[in-house]
Amino acid sequence: MKQNDLILQTVTKVAAFVILLFAVAIFLGGHYSPGGGFVGGLMTSAAIVLLLLAFDIKTVTGILPIDYKLMIGSGLFISSLTVAGGLVFGVPLMTHVYQYIDLPLLGHISLHTAVLFDLGVYLVVVGVTMTIIQTIGESE
Amino acid sequence: MSLLHWAVLSPFLLALIVPILYKLFRQIHTGWFVLILPILLFTYFSSFISLTKRGDIITERAAWIPSLGIHVDFYVDGLGLLFALLITGIGSLVVLYSVFYLSKEKEKLNQFYVFLLLFMGAMLGVVLSDNLIVLYSFWEFTSLSSFLLIGYWNERERSRYGAQKSLLITVFGGLSLLGGIILLAIMGNTFSIRELIAQSGELMDHPLFTPALLLVLLGAFTKSAQFPFHIWLPDAMEAPTPVSAYLHSATMVKAGIYLVARLSPVFAESGIWFWLVSIAGLITLFWGSFSAIKQTDLKGILAFSTISQLGLIMSLLGLGAAALHYESLGENIYLAATVAAVFHLINHATFKGSLFMVAGIIDHETGTRDIRKLGGLMQLMPITFTVAVIGAFSMAGLPPFNGFLSKEMFLASMVDVLELNIFNMETWGTLFPVLAWVASVFTFIYSMIVVLKPFTGKLQLNLLDKKPHEAPIGMLISPIILASLVIIFGIFPNLLSSSIIEPAVAGIQPSLVGPDFQVHIAFWHGFQPELWMTVGIIAFGIILYKTFPKWQKIHQWMPERLSLNALYDNGLRGLERSASSVMKFLMTGSIRTYLLSIFLFFILSLGFTLYWKDAFKLDTGNLAPIGLYEWVLAAITVIGSIAILFARSRLTSIIILGAVGYTISLFFVLLRAPDLALTQLVIETISVSLFLLCFFHLPLMASRKEERMTFRLNNALISIGVGVMVTLIALSAHSNKLFDSISSYYLENAYKEAGGKNVVNVILVDFRGLDTMFEITVLSIAALGIFAMIKLRLTGGKDKS
């Protein structure tokens, strides 16, 4: 069945980028405003799902040749490293460190190890959602 | 983290790199890279010898979960160091041997060395931990890595069977050990072994003392293959021979011995400990040696011989406990049992390690380990034969090898039992030396079988898969080193006494061993009873070996189906059968049934609890005012929910369900929870698209008219019940304020402690970060599960990759 998805596809091309950028923004700002790894990850998956709906699985895997199972693994790995990192410095597990610095253009920002942990969460969430959706979608 | 921590951690770190090395340098055997680490570690741990010799104890701490008193405390004393040296020393030799044993073209070397390194690290962790929880974690890690190693050739049915058996039995023991550890912690209010030892006197009178003792011993016995848990060890011989040499003779099976030795100061004062440890050890010694002689597989003989030797060491540790009851004696003869245990531990690692490697060489060169096919290899493999003779004679307890000395000390300790005047030893005491002597005769016989059957007699080339010749020199280095140690320790037994044995004994019995404690092992110790026993063993052994075929039938008096193995197999089969019948009853394959039972359980259990605890309360005092928006949203939600019931197609239901979800997220917006609203919105979007994807695969919806009225009534009842229950709980939860809300704590501390202004996110990544960690782990497992189920089903159960 051939359908004419021209409008959907054109809108998607723009919207997916906006959603992806927004996802990254709420992921990074998570510690200070609503957001974080979990929502950011879900938002990113939503953008990819939108791509999947507008195009088909083959095209999307052509654009984003990502092994989502690997993504799950690396996410878990990053998170557990951050959790265990405290041991190396002789402080309790999951102790976070943060620091405020001033950078040109970006201004007064903070560097926080929590972001590393959140990055792991982000990767796992994207990986999990996309693995499930892709597996079910492919099984036709 | 100190250098010591890094030393224990280093095998794990190397295990991460090994697959990369394997990929990058395909032409170099991965074993060469791995070999460096155990050698470095061995030299590192050797540097501690001078410290522990002086009686120093090195402790290093890293915090893990300080709030629960769990620290990664490592400490090196004589006992821990002895084991650490064994693990790294034998480890180096085994890795060297494996380089020649495992072909780099045919084997999955990356997996092999990752498993081996994991095991090495875990084992080091076990013997150096002071914290019992840390010890337990490493302990289970040894079970897991040995499971992987035994099942290394996982395409073989026997390997999988052996791996599963060892895992089931050792993890069962590990769980009971965990129970024992928790009881100990309850009694002593600490997880630290040293602190427990310090208060051992008070622990004795605690009502939990005996349960803790039994649970800990169960863990130690399963790990060290004591009767009747020994049945996993022979099946573990399906592992590659380097693994058998390493795990099943030198290290892992000795973890149980280590645990008994380490916790001796805590428990040994109790009579139960003395009886259980020494009797279990003796029975294992006897049964292992008795079963060894009926085996036809060379590695099978060695497996049973390991079982019996472990029993020997265990019984000595048990006897050593008697020493605690004779503190007044000037010259405490029962301390000698502990010395003998430590000495035999070292000796066993040397001679059994070399014998396993010999068995591996024979297997490698002839293609079989069946002693009925082997024979006459002496001319073809003179060096291997020499090593085998040294190892086997030492195992049999013949002079001038080290096994002779520790065997004599063992027999002497068994004779000394007769002088015990505690625990009613007058009647049962004679059993000790008698059992020990009989077992030693069997030990002599199987040692002779190991060396004489393959190497002497007639060479039957037609029965062998390959034409045998001497092993490559690289493969011979490790067994030759071990065999030389057998001779060196035999002729100069005191080489080790002050540097290794004394500190180790001091670690086992700190209360008895003073600074002037000295071990002196004499090669010639006069015409003592033990010497005559040895002479008897040799004489009887030779006679029985010569007449072996005549009395071999004795092994057949016990029918096969009454054996412990059959018990295990039948038990497992029965468990599987009952589990699958329960599953067949529960898992109907219809999600409706699952939901029905889940909801029914939910209603009944919560409803009963609410009624039983009289927990329902309605407090309208502090309800928030309901505005126009809330009314509208609530109305939309209710209308949407009702509409789902009357939807004629799945598609409509899914879309209405999504709409209800969006309305809920608007509620979150109204109630000023932007994080929740955001999450709910995205989740709703994704789950609707997921539904739509699955929707494609679902069978056609049964037409509503066909469904029977009672069925629909049941559904209605259950859904109304769930609704009512949730409402009741929500109202009661709001009205019952038993504690102050924790949210004020988070609000106050989120910025102060964690430097974040978004409290929800701070809770997720910081305050309750561990929960998040486990949550994403669960998520990952679920996703991989879905992947596996769908992909495997599509390929008809076969793995496509």
B214-242 tens-digit pLDDT: 999 999 999 888 888 888 888 888 888 88
Contact assignment for A114 to B784 by CB distance below 8 Å:
no
User: Which residue intervals of B492-590 are DSSP H helices?
Assistant: 502-508, 529-546, 548-551, 564-586
Contact assignment for B776 to A79 by CB distance below 8 Å:
yes
Decide if pLDDT at A4 tops 80. no
Contact assignment for A114 to B766 by CB distance below 8 Å:
yes
Of B685, B758, B790, which is closest to A136 when you measure between CB atoms?
Answer: B790
Is B772 an interface residue toward A (CB < 8 Å)?
A: yes
Average pLDDT over residues B46-51: 86
Q: How far is A40 from chain B (nearest CA, A)?
A: 9
Is B13 an interface residue toward A (CB < 8 Å)?
A: no
Query: pLDDT tens digits, residue range B188-198?
Result: 888 888 888 88
Of B674, B773, B787, which is closest to A83 when you measure between CB atoms?
Answer: B773
Alpha-carbon distance B383 to B495, whole Å?
A: 26
Q: Which of B359, B391, B351 is nearest to B471 (CA)?
A: B359
* Chain B: residue whose CA lies nearest to A116: B765
* Chain A: residue whose CA lies nearest to B66: A92
Is B133 an interface residue toward A (CB < 8 Å)?
A: no
Task: Kindly give, in sequence order, each residue whose CB lies less than 8 Å from that of residue A60, ignoring residues fewer than 6 positions away.
Answer: A48, A51, A52
Decide if pLDDT at B798 tops 80. no
Contact assignment for A31 to B758 by CB distance below 8 Å:
yes
* Chain B: residue whose CA lies nearest to A45: B686
How many CB atoms sit inside 10 A of residue B505's CB?
A: 28
pLDDT at B22: 85
Query: pLDDT tens digits, residue range A62-73?
Result: 888 888 889 999
pLDDT at A3: 65
Decide if pLDDT at B636 tops 90. yes
Is B784 an interface residue toward A (CB < 8 Å)?
A: yes
Greater pLDDT, B711 or B731: B731
- Region of residue B232 (phi > 0: left; psi between -120 and 50: alpha; otherwise: beta): alpha
The token pair that represents B442 in the structure block: 């069997």
Strand bridging mode B58-65 / A98-103: unpaired
A-chain CB neighbours of B770 within 8 Å are 83, 93-94
Decide if pLDDT at B63 tops 80. no
pLDDT at B562: 61
Scanning B750-769 for CB atoms below 8 A from A yields 754-758, 760-762, 764-766, 769
pLDDT at B800: 44
Q: How far is Cα of residue B118 from the mean position of the Cα atoms in its chain?
A: 12
* Chain B: residue whose CA lies nearest to A37: B761
A88-92, B317-321, B527-531, B603-607: which has the highest mean pLDDT? B603-607
pLDDT at B801: 43
- The DSSP code for B768 is T
Alpha-carbon distance B135 to B139, whole Å?
A: 6
Question: Which of the four pLDDT bands, split at 50, 70 and 90, describes residue B179?
Answer: very high
Q: Which of B417, B77, B80, B112 is nearest to B279 (CA)?
A: B417
B-chain CB neighbours of A32 within 8 Å are 756-758
Contact assignment for A79 to B773 by CB distance below 8 Å:
yes
Alpha-carbon distance B143 to B760, whole Å?
A: 39
Decide if pLDDT at B437 tops 60. yes
Q: How far is B189 from chain A (nearest CA, A)?
A: 20
Question: Which of the four pLDDT bands, split at 50, 70 and 90, describes residue B699?
Answer: low
Contact assignment for B783 to A114 by CB distance below 8 Å:
no
* C-alpha angle B742-B745-B749 in degrees, rounded to nearest 5: 150
| β-bridge mates for residue A111, sequence order | A99
CA atoms within 13 A on the CB side of A37: 27
Question: Which of the four pLDDT bands, split at 50, 70 and 90, describes residue B452?
Answer: confident
Alpha-carbon distance B452 to B541, whole Å?
A: 14
Of B757, B765, B787, which is closest to A114 when you measure between CB atoms?
Answer: B765
Task: Return mean pLDDT, chain B.
Answer: 83
Question: Which of the four pLDDT bands, split at 50, 70 and 90, describes residue B376?
Answer: confident
Q: How far is A71 from chain B (nearest CA, A)?
A: 10
Provide DSSP, B328-396. T-SS-TTHHHHHHHHHHHHHHHHHHHHHHHHHHHHHHHHS--BTTT---TTTT-HHHHHHHHHHHHHHH
* Chain B: residue whose CA lies nearest to A53: B689
pLDDT at B599: 92
Greater pLDDT, B323 or B559: B323
Q: Which residue has the tokens 């500190």?
A: B503
Q: How far is A32 from chain B (nearest CA, A)?
A: 4
| Chain A interface mutation, best of B692, B763, B768, B773, highest count of A Cβ atoms under 10 Å | B773
B-chain CB neighbours of A80 within 8 Å are 773
pLDDT at B363: 85
B-chain CB neighbours of A46 within 8 Å are 682, 685-686
Count of CB contacts below 8 A, A vs B?
160
Provide DSSP, B680-727. HHHHHHHHHHHHHHHHTTSPPPPPGGGS-HHHHHHHHHHHHHHHHHHH
Q: How far apart are the first and last CA of chain B?
A: 41
B-chain CB neighbours of A136 within 8 Å are 690, 693-694, 697, 786, 790
* Chain A: residue whose CA lies nearest to B16: A77
A-chain CB neighbours of B783 within 8 Å are 69, 72, 127-129, 131-132
Decide if pLDDT at B702 tops 60. no
| β-bridge mates for residue B76, sequence order | B58
In angstroms, the Cα distances linking A131 to A36, B603, B771, B781 are: 21, 34, 22, 11
Provide DSSP, B310-329. HHHHHHHHHHHGGGGGGTT-
Is B790 an interface residue toward A (CB < 8 Å)?
A: yes
Of B64, B65, B779, which is closest to A124 when you measure between CB atoms?
Answer: B779
Query: pLDDT tens digits, residue range B543-560?
Result: 888 887 777 776 666 665
Greater pLDDT, B518 or A37: A37
Decide if pLDDT at B706 tops 60. no
- The DSSP code for B59 is E
Decide if pLDDT at B13 tops 70. yes
Scanning B199-228 for CB atoms below 8 A from A yields none
Question: What is the pTM assigned to this prediction?
Answer: 0.79
Query: pLDDT tens digits, residue range B735-780?
Result: 877 777 888 888 888 777 777 788 888 888 888 888 888 999 999 9
Listed in order, strand segments (DSSP E) in B38-163 are 58-65, 70-76
Contact assignment for A31 to B761 by CB distance below 8 Å:
yes
Of B63, B765, B794, which is closest to A92 when you measure between CB atoms?
Answer: B63
A-chain CB neighbours of B777 within 8 Å are 76
Greater pLDDT, B202 or B697: B202
User: Which residue intervals of B648-673 are DSSP H helices?
Assistant: 650-670
In angstroms, the Cα distances linking B491 to B336, B353, B393, B410, B765 are: 20, 19, 14, 18, 62
* Chain B: residue whose CA lies nearest to A115: B765
| Chain B interface mutation, best of A19, A52, A116, A121, highest count of B Cβ atoms under 10 Å | A121
Give the amino acid at A65. P
Read off φ and ψ for residue B608, nearest 5 degrees: -60, -45
Helix B298-320 × helix B335-366 angle, to 10° = 170
Decide if pLDDT at B600 tops 60. yes
Whether the Cβ atoms of residue A118 and residue A134 lie closer than 8 Å to each other: no
Provide DSSP, B5-43. HHHHHHHHHHHHHHHHHHHH-TTS-HHHHHHHHHHHHHH
pLDDT at B330: 47
Q: How far is Cα of residue B545 from the mean position of the Cα atoms in its chain?
A: 38
pLDDT at B764: 82
Q: Which of B85, B111, B116 is nearest to B11 (CA)?
A: B116
Contact assignment for B755 to A110 by CB distance below 8 Å:
yes
Contact assignment for B63 to A90 by CB distance below 8 Å:
yes
Q: Which residue has the tokens 């005012």?
A: B625
Alpha-carbon distance B316 to B152, whole Å?
A: 34
| β-bridge mates for residue A125, sequence order | none
The token pair that represents B34 in the structure block: 């791995």
How many CB atoms sit inside 10 A of residue B373's CB?
A: 17
Provide DSSP, A52-117. HHHS-HHHHHHHS---HHHHHHHHHHHHHHHHHHHHHTTS-TT---EEEEEETTTEEEEEETHHHH
